[in-house]
Amino acid sequence: NAGVTQTPKFRVLKTGQSMTLLCAQDMNHEYMYWYRQDPGMGLRLIHYSVGEGTTAKGEVPDGYNVSRLKKQNFLLGLESAAPSQTSVYFCASSPGRMNTEAFFGQGTRLTVV
Amino acid sequence: GEDVEQSLFLSVREGDSSVINCTYTDSSSTYLYWYKQEPGAGLQLLTYIFSNMDMKQDQRLTVLLNKKDKHLSLRIADTQTGDSAIYFCAETPWYSSASKIIFGSGTRLSIRP
């Protein structure tokens, strides 16, 4: 049982390049989330999804897009990367509304130069 | 608005108790959480408490909630080197339409021999 898997684990991008981060969960969870973690700022919610085919904006959505075409996958896209998007990105999933059983992936460290 | 605050660092001697403190502003919180993040890993739910409880104990962990002062604490008894990690306090407001979690900035716990 893999839980929540993020790919890639590391990536370096040049300013203006695009990329997609993939999150996959095998627990049949309805809810999925993308967070970014920056030093001294905790985790900030970028986008989330409450089910297949749905997405919603979180606290810091600008510069990112997401898609949830399949229940088990939640993709985070950067259309034109900027140095301010250098961060560690975490995906998480949970069965439903209450987060007592939220599971996190191991993170993707992204550097934009 | 919603805010969760923690001190950034805590250093304790091995075998002593660690107390990590957190304050929050949202009086409508339903769940309050403690997550643990080990180096290079995602967050793992350590424990949680409902907002109608004052205390929760789980082996070496004791969570205390003071609703009047909006103060949450995590006590780790007999602190071990394996407890070295970043500890995040988090809350879920009751009105959240999805499982929106608000995280603090994290407290880095280091253990002295």
| Residue of B92, B99, B100, B103 to mutate, interface with A, max A Cβ within 10 Å | B99
- pLDDT at B10 (0 to 100): 97
Cis peptide before A8 (omega within 30 of 0): yes
Chain A closest-CA separation from residue B53 CA (Å): 15
Judge whether A30 and A50 are in contact, CB under 8 Å. Answer: yes
Q: Is B93 on the interface with A (CB under 8 A)?
A: no
- Per-residue pLDDT tens digits for B23-41: 988 777 778 899 999 988 8
Judge whether B102 and B93 are in contact, CB under 8 Å. Answer: yes
Q: Is B61 on the interface with A (CB under 8 A)?
A: no
% of chain A beyond a pLDDT of 90? 78
Instruction: Give the mean model confidence (pLDDT) for residues A4-14.
Output: 96
Contact criterion met (CB < 8 Å) for A31 and B92: no
In terms of DSSP H, where are the helices of chain B? none
Chain A closest-CA separation from residue B68 CA (Å): 23
What is the number of alpha carbons within 13 Å of residue A66 lying toward its C-beta? 28
Q: Which chain B residues have a beta carbon less than 8 Å from that of A66?
A: none
pLDDT at A32 over 70: yes
pLDDT at B98 over 60: no
Ranking A40-44, A59-63, B47-51, B76-80 by mean pLDDT, the lowest is A40-44
Q: Is A14 on the interface with B (CB under 8 A)?
A: no
Q: Is A105 on the interface with B (CB under 8 A)?
A: yes
Judge whether B49 and B35 are in contact, CB under 8 Å. Answer: no
Residue A68 backbone zone (phi > 0: left; psi -120 to 50: alpha; other: beta): beta
Instruction: Give the mean model confidence (pLDDT) for residues B31-56.
Output: 88
% of chain B beyond a pLDDT of 90? 55
Task: Name residue, tokens 């988090």.
Answer: B90
Q: Which two tokens stand for residue B11?
A: 């250093």
